[in-house]
Structure 1
Amino acid sequence: MSRKARQRTSRLPIRMQLMLPIAAALMGMLVLGLFQTVTVWDQYQDSGDAEVLADLAGSLNRVLDGHQNEGGPFLEAVLTQDMEGFDAAAARADTDEAIDDFESVGSTAATRFPSLDSEIEDLLERADELGAARTSLDGLAAGELEFSGEEVLGAFGTYTAIADKIVELSSLLPTLVNDARISAQLDSIASAMQLGRLAAEIQFRVTADLAFIAVEQALTVDRETLGNVAVRAGAYDRQLTDFQNNASDQVIDAFQDLAEGDGPRSASEALGIYLNGSIPTISPPEFSAAQGEIVDSWNRTTNTAMMYLRQDVEDLGQSSTRTLLTTFALIIALSLTAIISAAMLARRISLRVDGVREATLTAAYDTLPKTVAAVSQAGNADDVDRLLQSAKKQTVIATDSRYSDELDSLAEAFSAAHHQALRQTANQALLRIDVEAMMKTLARRGQSLIRRQQQVMESLVDDSGGSRIPDEWRSVYHLLSRMRRNEENLLLLAGGDPQRRYNHPSDVETIIRDAVSEIEDAGRVVVENQVGARLDTKPAGDVVRILAELLDNAASYSPPTQAVRVTSRRSGSEIVISIADDGIGLGPDQMSAINRRLAEPTQLNSELTATMGLLVVGRLAAEHAISVQLHSTMGKGTLALVRIPAAAHAEDPVGLVPQHGGGAAARLALSARAANLPITGTGTDGAAAGATEPIVPRPRKAGDAFGEPDPVPARSGSIPQAGRSRGATGTPGAVTPTLATSAPATAGPGGEPVDVTFRKVNRALESTGRENGSALPRRAPGSKLLPGSVPGSRPSGNGVDLDPAEIRDRLTGFASGIAAASEHEQRQ
């Protein structure tokens, strides 16, 4: 079906109609959301960071205030000899409380800013040294130590180091926040703290030098002290410039108001005279008090800056919150707009989309699978054509003439693909019907030719009289039997129905015996522990085919000197027939693949022709719900388990099947000759010569339980089993044909004669025992075994015992097979 181009009636395709407003809204949301999110997130982070840093700066300011309130007044009291007017314990308690608060705030700040962790830890370690410094200062106040002593100088160094560390840490805070206003506020606070520290140091050093000059009646200032004061005064001026550049107008105005008093003015004049190298007229206590007002003004300025900082932080948090809410509101509004637009457009085309969807789903999951299944099972070309025309009418997808867009094109494309799939299915069905018909014709023709060849060979045997039958004839005859079975497999796989083997239910013993007679190496098969059960007519014949294929594989893939063991038993309501060989076994991957093919048989193709027997086994087993599984261990052989369900079992009504008369009524005449004639014909020729006589394994000699099979003579033109043979007299190739009327003996175990004629073997297989004096059947041990299949009693010294290692290997292989079968039963 050609695809016709149709003119569009809409200006935009459906996809664009749906995606254009949504894409526009989403793009707007993405752009706005991107900028707003970055901004809001930065502001939110800055507000949080600023809050943490503000708390840290406040805590540092409290520690510095406590430190200065503890050290400065203490030294002033020592210099003025007025310790009673200073409460050192209270001042130290305030310092310790400020340090404890800083430890808590510092932990939070270190979590938020890992770069501050080392600085905070260093400050806390220095704070731990205050105890020793305080002890030294107490010794100085008590007169036990002097200002020039190492302990006192060390205490001064501790206080100075703590103050320097506090100022250094506060100077790092402005670099940790992105907001310029908050950063400037933090910088101004750090500058105010630094100015307060420098003013306190100047207060201490100048006051100490003035007190020393007053005591020593010196005429000049100490040059070293003057140099230290000059350095700090210069640093003070530079830091004051930085403060004025960074601080807000409100903070600068607050400082100027505090620094305009008489005390700060007097301290500045006295400091100027001192820096010029002269001795100011102001007394040490007066200078200390005046300079203390400057220190106090800086402390107040720092508190004022902290107040404005917290206010700015709060404003920043509120602003970021408002921005965040605005962003969310815009995103929600745009989302609603996009959703409403999409809903309106979707509603407009929903009926069309639903119609196409329903039609395609129905065609894909209902109409097409049903049509494909029906066409695949069609028996002739007329049925295929009828089903194809009906499916075409059901898969037409109706379109709306008002629209001609992607949906309409999609419907047309799906209809075209659907029709093409139907056409391919019909072609495959017609090809399958043709191939199956050809395979049936070729299989039946091959069966007819093979049967004619077997009849010719049987005529040659009849014409030979009592002369010996060449071994080559036996080989050719068994090859013909293999060819017949191959033709039957082809006919079965092609859908044909080979002639039934039985005309009524048969017992398991007969089924196993007929399956053994189908293979070339029947003499290697050992049948053990047969159960007394019967199978229905159809399952019985198919079980023979299944067992024959498995036995053929077991005999082909195991050493020619080893036996193939067949055992039957009951397992609950099932009958389990096991076939074990002593071959090299199969690998796990190969075993899994074979079991999968047996459980799920497929169609015959070129890849499966080499293992067509397994496909036949799988087909027949699936037809009767029979489970066939292989279990194998590398180097220990292979075990095949055939589980026959109760549905295939047959009742054994009294009088249905006669037990005498040579078994002619037990099986159909032509189909009973499993190894002699192809399974064709009508099954009504009950008097066919030799029809009831199966080919059976020949006896084995004592001491050679797994030796080569001997030839078995035929009756009335029947050809015995082919294979490598040894004559009864020990001459290779010597074969003596035996008629049913004669009863020759072959040397058996222990030198006893063993009758291996077909009637003798048939009676041995079908006998149920002999009657005793009370006319009751008496069990005869070994009466159901094939003559010659089990060696007789062996004279001492004439046999060769098996090696113990070989016995262990065989027992291990057997145990492995039983364990694998048990494991499979548990998984079932």
Structure 2
Amino acid sequence: MLLVPVAVAVGTGVLQIRGYVVRADSYASIGKLVTLRSALTPLVAAVQDERAHQADRVDGASPEANAFHERGAVTTRAFELVRGLAEDPGTPVGEVASARFAEVTTQVNALPQLRQSIDAGSDVSVSVIAYTTVLRSMLDFDQALVNEFGDATLASTGGALHNLQMAGEQLSLQHAVLLAGVSRGRVLDSEATMLDQSQLRYLDRVADFAALATSGQRDLRTQTVNGRDVLDRDRMVRDALTTVATADDPDPPALATKVSIGDWETASHATDTLVNKVLVSLEGELADTVATLQDETSDQAGLISMVLLASLLAAVGVGVVFGNNMIRSLLTLRRTALHVAQHQLPELVADLREEGASEVVIEPVAVHTTEEFGQLARAFDAVHQQAVGSAVEQARLRGGLRNTFVNLSRRSQGLVERQLRLMEELERKEENPQQLANLFKLDHLATRMRRNNENLMVLSGTDVTRRFSKPIPLGDVLRAAASEIEHYQRVVVQTTPQVEVVGYAASDLVRLIAELLDNATAFSPPRSHVVIVGRPRNGGGVVIDVIDEGVGMAPPELEAANVRLRSVDTDELPASRQMGHFVIARLAARHQVEVTLVDQGPHRDGLRAVVGVPPELIRQPSATAPTVVDALPSPAARRAQAVPSARPRPGATPAPGNDGEWSSFRGKAVDDDDPSAATRAVWFKGKLPTGEAPRHRLDDAADPAAPRTNGVKPDPTPEPDSEVDLPKRRPRGNLVAGRPDPGGAAPARRDPNATRGFLSNYQTGIRQGVRDSGDHRPAQENP
């Protein structure tokens, strides 16, 4: 009830105070202009005195040097004072006044040259006209200053003052002209014309002064500029004009008989003194008026401020006295509502998420009155109880769904694990290459199903059972992640730092990288590569980059994706296309891993996923560090070995997504840093690495024309490779070339593909035996 009138009163008062303050500032500015105009009066008087002094001579003669130069110095000092005030940044000189002052400066700067010509004996009339021109520019500047007075009273007084200044200038001009005529002994026609016109201007300026001046100012001028000297001066001007020859009077009397130089000097100086006295009085009156207006305006602003402050205090007092009882209950209700909304409900929801649903009893609002505020408090209690009940119900529903998902996921996980073990057993016993390739495909599908089950458990907030107990090399982690996706053949694992990932975080990092690789391969061309590379991180840790050449994302979509990657709130089920982002966010939040999607720029397609692994999860490798290949089940281990560790050589074409899953073994799925892997590559490429001797070198000199593969002579009639490039067993195909056949047959040449199949089966059997024996299991998964 008090807010609206108080606001109106305050707004009106502030506007009035602001108006008075602005007016006070304007009066202060006008005061500076008045000060500048007052400084201009001595400058005008100095120039007039200099003009009159040089007129007291005959043509061709120079004035008395010391007195003339002394008057010039007075003029110079007076101009410096005026220029300092005019150029002061605090003086509000307008555009017109600035232009007029520039003209004054130009005229004053020309005075030294004029004085030199006078010292050389220049014509007196010419010098008088030159000084008159300088004085006219100063009086124009005075008029411009008066025009900038914004107040009507000040403008009227300033105009009257200017007209009186112009009238004084006409008197000074008459003084100089007649003084030159008396010194010469006669008045020239041009000088007579100047006297006549000057008298007319004088009378006009006096009339203009009377029109603008107040009655007191007119009386002051009439009473001051009066007396015998003023009358004698006017008479001598009229007498001097009668000495000029005309057509009616070609022989006028001599000037000396009418005007004496002593009487003229006395009367002129007396009249000038009286006019200057009026000028000084009006200037003082103008300055006092400006100061008075400024003080009155400031006082009015202060008075309104005090009234406004008193009104505010009274309003506050009324509000405190009469509104205290009314708003106490409302403040209590408001405080309680904010506390419930900001603290109680969020803490309750968090507790329900962690501890499960339970009955919650709320505390009622501490307002026990029966009027409207008490009724509002009871209504809020009902709303609070309903909100708590909804939170409990949602917690129960969420807990039931989570338990259901976890139960189904664990059941499915057990079936997938059994399926993997069964397929691994079938792989060891299968000798048909085509069937073995199909088993590998089923094995890989089951592995992906296992990852999906684990993702469901991650979203449900449950830890995954597959974990490592010892540190795993970073390169093995990246290759294991690549083996978890469908198009693992397209993944290129580049050189990574020689560091290890702690065991409790390695499995989660494998799943996180696998989700990124899955997205990268799904949204990039089928024949493109997805590059994954690790590099040291500033301040410790490592940075893993997953780079694809896909369609990329628009800036809004990229920003939304990064928000999802930083969010761990999975209360709402995400869309199927975004499920992987929430899984990544949950896994990253467990270990403070930073995941960000970055656009490759306008000149490159695809995205770059930057994974920042903190230094707490990284350690230097040990001499007996296990590898993730040994820790994962054998199908995943074989796929981890099959992932390329460097970019493909120029000209290599990535295998399409529907090729055989072991197509990456065609001579390019070899880790260049692994000597044993390089040796295995011999069986695909037909040659050993440079500088390494063949392991099964026979005598090749027997048949120089025969084809050779790794130093071993091939079978004269080798069977072509199958569609998936897997070996086929051949009767007696396991004999080394050059070894006698037990049956007396000719020596057989071993097929490299057959040897590869034999070694692969042999390696698988050794691993299975080690696992079954229970020994040497440094990186096995926790049960």
Change (3 A) 1:421 1:267: same
Q: By how many angstroms is 1:134 displaced?
A: 1.2
Q: Residue 492 in 1 paired to residue 458 in 2?
A: yes
Helix, strand or coil at the partner of 2:171 = helix
Matched AA of 1:175:
N
Aligned with residue 577 of structure 2, among 606, 610, 626 = 610
Q: Is 420-429 or 40-49 further displaced after alignment?
A: 420-429
In 2, the alpha carbon distance for the partners of 1:553 and 1:747 equals 43
Q: Residue 74 in 1 paired to residue 57 in 2?
A: yes
Look up the match of 1:95. 71
Change (3 A) 1:757 1:294: same
* 1:87-486 equivalence runs, <5 A: 88-108=64-84, 110-111=86-87, 112=91, 113-114=93-94, 115=97, 116-136=100-120, 138=121, 154-162=126-134, 164-165=136-137, 174-177=146-149, 178=151, 179-180=154-155, 182-200=157-175, 203-204=178-179, 207=182, 211-212=185-186, 229-243=195-209, 245=211, 246=213, 248-259=218-229, 265=235, 268=238, 271=241, 278=249, 279-280=252-253, 283-284=256-257, 286-345=259-318, 347-348=320-321, 349=323, 352=328, 355-356=332-333, 358-377=335-354, 379-380=356-357, 383=358, 386-387=359-360, 390=361, 393-394=362-363, 396-399=364-367, 401=369, 422=388, 425-426=391-392, 428-433=394-399, 435-437=401-403, 439-440=405-406, 443=409, 469=435, 475-476=441-442, 478-486=444-452
Q: By how many angstroms is 1:761 displaced?
A: 2.8
Q: By how many angstroms is 1:99 displaced?
A: 1.6
Matched AA of 1:120:
V
Q: By how many angstroms is 1:53 displaced?
A: 0.9
Q: Residue 47 in 1 paired to residue 31 in 2?
A: yes
Q: By how many angstroms is 1:98 displaced?
A: 3.1
Change (3 A) 1:610 1:376: same
In 1, the alpha carbon distance for the partners of 2:485 and 2:441 equals 12
Look up the match of 1:763. 766
Q: By how many angstroms is 1:638 displaced?
A: 6.9
Give per-residue Cα distances to partners, 1:332-354, cap 9 Å, x unaligned. 42243134225424644568276
Look up the match of 2:12. 27
Kept in 2: contact 1:66–1:91 (CA 8 A): no
TM-score (norm 2): 0.65
Kept in 1: contact 2:634–2:764 (CA 8 A): no
**Structural RMSD (CA):** 6.0
Change (3 A) 1:74 1:430: farther
Helix, strand or coil at the partner of 2:259 = helix
Q: By how many angstroms is 1:617 displaced?
A: 4.3
Aligned with residue 47 of structure 2, among 54, 60, 63 = 63
In 2, the alpha carbon distance for the partners of 1:748 and 1:583 equals 39
Q: By how many angstroms is 1:30 displaced?
A: 3.5
Kept in 2: contact 1:440–1:491 (CA 8 A): yes
Equivalenced residues, count = 667
Kept in 2: contact 1:376–1:425 (CA 8 A): no
List alignment gaps of at least 5 residues for structure 1: 1-15, 140-150, 214-221, 658-662, 676-692, 713-724, 769-776, 778-783, 785-828
Q: By how many angstroms is 1:366 displaced?
A: 1.9
In 2, the alpha carbon distance for the partners of 1:451 and 1:467 equals 24
Kept in 1: contact 2:40–2:82 (CA 8 A): yes
Kept in 2: contact 1:439–1:494 (CA 8 A): yes
Matched AA of 2:227:
D
Kept in 2: contact 1:506–1:540 (CA 8 A): yes
Q: By how many angstroms is 1:469 displaced?
A: 2.5
In 2, the alpha carbon distance for the partners of 1:45 and 1:567 equals 73
Kept in 1: contact 2:240–2:258 (CA 8 A): no
TM-score (norm 1): 0.62
Kept in 2: contact 1:469–1:735 (CA 8 A): no
Matched AA of 1:194:
E
Aligned with residue 721 of structure 2, among 730, 741, 754 = 730
In 1, the alpha carbon distance for the partners of 2:141 and 2:467 equals 106
Kept in 2: contact 1:501–1:541 (CA 8 A): yes
Helix, strand or coil at the partner of 2:279 = helix
In 2, the alpha carbon distance for the partners of 1:158 and 1:441 equals 113
In 1, the alpha carbon distance for the partners of 2:189 and 2:28 equals 54
Give per-residue Cα distances to partners, 1:452-493, cap 9 Å, x unaligned. 988998999999998963855654554344334323422432
In 1, the alpha carbon distance for the partners of 2:607 and 2:14 equals 73
Matched AA of 1:730:
D
Kept in 2: contact 1:521–1:709 (CA 8 A): no
Matched AA of 1:616:
V
Q: By how many angstroms is 1:730 displaced?
A: 1.5
In 1, the alpha carbon distance for the partners of 2:378 and 2:761 equals 73
Kept in 1: contact 2:165–2:279 (CA 8 A): no
In 2, the alpha carbon distance for the partners of 1:530 and 1:763 equals 30
Q: Residue 17 in 1 paired to residue 8 in 2?
A: no
Helix, strand or coil at the partner of 1:161 = helix
Kept in 2: contact 1:191–1:242 (CA 8 A): no
